[in-house]
Amino acid sequence: MKIGILGTGTVASTIGTKLVQLGHEVRMGSRTMDNQKAASWAKSNETKASHSTFADAAVFGEIVFNCTSGSHSIEALKLAGEKNMRGKILVDVANPLDFSGGKLSLTVCNTDSLGEQIQRALPKTKVVKALNTVNSDLMVNPSLLNGSHDIFICGNDPSAKSEVTKILGDWFGWKSVVDLGDITAARGQEMLLPFWIRMMGVFKTSHFNFKIVRE
Amino acid sequence: MKIGILGTGTVASTIGTKLVQLGHEVRMGSRTMDNQKAASWAKSNETKASHSTFADAAVFGEIVFNCTSGSHSIEALKLAGEKNMRGKILVDVANPLDFSGGKLSLTVCNTDSLGEQIQRALPKTKVVKALNTVNSDLMVNPSLLNGSHDIFICGNDPSAKSEVTKILGDWFGWKSVVDLGDITAARGQEMLLPFWIRMMGVFKTSHFNFKIVRE
């Protein structure tokens, strides 16, 4: 499959590399044509990998991953172009984190979420919030942790969620994908982050995840 | 031990009953002397249980549990009296939930929390946020769920957290109590709630909990 990745950070390169390893063609998009991190990533992943602008990556992808930092996602998606993503699935991995105040806060939460903002900005795109609650190593390799643990998705389009659930399972190895409902559930998914950051401090690792224990 | 409980709802009566069963003397406090729910609870728990005003319960308790609804906690604590709780541990179980908008939101979050508001209102009280992330049945009986799962605490006073950890373990049966740090971690603990409410909808039960799976 042809896949577009928006962003050039650790999440973007980790997901991009995994997708290339699985045999997909991946184009990493950034603000400019000559982004050094994107060029370096594309070079290290050879023929299946390329890099270009946000818009080129959005046009290229049959499915698109938003791996930009949350505080810049809306701007990046505008550059990617609403038209270029119409009818496509956008897997939104971003978190609206703001470290500017010394302590972590979210740029949006409680009565709105980044996932909802993105869905409103791209009304004809099937936005599925996913993977934002784990470290990038775990996103593509959940078996780094022993035992079962859960990943969460939400979105307004049931068939898009089915496809993302299949991708998470077949490509990345997630055995338990919990569908939280429509895109407003992104509030809950994103609001896990202040807790997540504290847990990372307590356990001195980012390799941990939530498991929901039930009766 | 003499224990004060602020609030007369399900959380208050569940914790109060458990404490009476353990042999403690429990006084449930409410806005008025003649609260029907508090009277009924005290009657059903016989000699070890009593009910009175917020202030009387605060004076009575060597340790106090805040089981009021979060949107009324500050007002209830003012009625309980800052002086009456000086030097004491206040276990803050409340969540700042607001259902008025149709969808759940929090009355405070992100850059502040109910736990912090309470600590500021009662600067000489040792506020420990605890138990707010599980249903009341689980609070006092975590073995309702199979396998290990976690409860989280935070607060500014290490010795108070040690005492609360002991109470959670010895009295209620919690085997894994995770200390998230100072009272500002209450942001993360309280911001789990929008996710928690979604999970309850998905699983059609409130008998579930988080387990943090690590390497």
Tens-place pLDDT, residues B36-59: 999 999 988 878 999 999 999 999
Q: State how far the alpha carbon of A207 is from the alpha carbons of A40, A144, A149, B180, in Å.
A: 26, 8, 12, 17
CA distances from B18 to A205, B39, B87, B171, B180 (A): 36, 17, 24, 9, 26
- A190, A184 contact by CB (below 8 A): no
Instruction: Write the CB contacts of B43 (distance below 8 Å, at least 6 apart in sequence).
Output: none
Q: How far is CA A186 from the centre of its chain?
A: 12
User: What pLDDT shows up at residue A100?
Assistant: 86
A208: chain B residues, CB-CB within 8 Å? 212-215
- Which candidate from B109, B180, B207 shows the least CB-CB separation from A198? B180
> What pTM value is reported for the model?
0.96
pLDDT per residue of chain B (215 residues) written in tens, 0 to 9: 999 999 999 999 999 999 999 999 999 999 998 899 999 999 888 789 999 999 999 999 999 999 999 999 999 999 999 999 999 999 999 999 998 878 889 999 999 999 999 999 999 999 999 999 999 999 999 999 999 999 999 999 999 999 999 999 999 999 999 999 999 999 999 999 999 999 999 999 999 999 999 98
Rounded to the nearest angstrom, the minimum Cα separation between B144 and chain A is 7
Note the pLDDT of residue A109: 98
Q: What share of chain B is helix, strand, coil (3-state, %, to 5)?
A: 45, 20, 35
Q: In A, which residues are within 8 Å of B165 by CB distance?
A: none
Q: Chain B contacts of A184, Cβ < 8 Å?
A: 103
- Which tens digit of pLDDT belongs to each residue from B144-178? 999 999 999 999 999 999 999 999 999 999 999 99
Give the three-state DSSP class for A209. strand
Q: Which residues of A touch B (CB under 8 A)?
A: 101, 103, 105-106, 109-111, 144-149, 152, 178-181, 184-185, 187-189, 191-192, 194-199, 201-203, 205, 207-215
% helix / strand / coil in chain A, to the nearest 5?
Answer: 45, 20, 35
Q: What is the dihedral of CA B163, B143, A151, A70, to 10 degrees?
A: -20
SS3 B8: coil
Contact B202 A208 (CB under 8 A): no
Distances from the Cα of A158 to the Cα of A141, A164, A174, A177, A179, angstroms: 25, 10, 18, 14, 10
Residue A214 pairs in a beta bridge with B208
Give me the half-sphere count of Cα atoms (radius 13 Å) on the Cβ side of residue B148.
12
Radius of gyration over every alpha carbon of chain B, rounded to an integer in angstroms: 16
Interface test with A, best of B116, B198, B205, B208 (most A CBs within 10 A): B198
CA B180 to CA A176: how far, in whole Å?
Answer: 27
Could you tell me where the DSSP H helices lie in A23-113?
36-44, 54-60, 73-80
**What would the pLDDT profile of A79-123 be if each residue is shown by its tens digit?**
999 999 999 999 999 999 998 877 889 999 999 999 999 999 999
- Tell me which residues of chain A have a pLDDT lower than 70: none
CA angle B79, B85, B88 (to 5 degrees): 155
CA distance A92 to A210: 19
Q: B69: burial class by Cβ within 10 Å (0-12, 13-18, 19+)?
A: middle
The predicted complex's ipTM stands at 0.95
Nearest by CB to residue B109, choosing from A109, A148, A208, is A109
A interface mutation test: which of B182, B184, B199 has the most A CBs within 10 A?
Answer: B199
Alpha-carbon distance B167 to nearest alpha carbon in chain A (angstroms): 21
Under an 8 A CB cutoff, do A189 and B195 touch? yes
Nearest to B128 by CA among B167, B95, B92: B92
B→A interface, C-beta within 8 Å: 101, 103, 105-106, 109-111, 144-149, 152, 178-181, 184-185, 187-189, 191-192, 194-199, 201-203, 205, 207-215
Reported residue count of chain A is: 215
Helix or strand or coil: residue A24? coil
d(CA A95, CA A129): 10
Domains of chain A (ranges, CATH numbers): 2-203 (3.40.50.720)
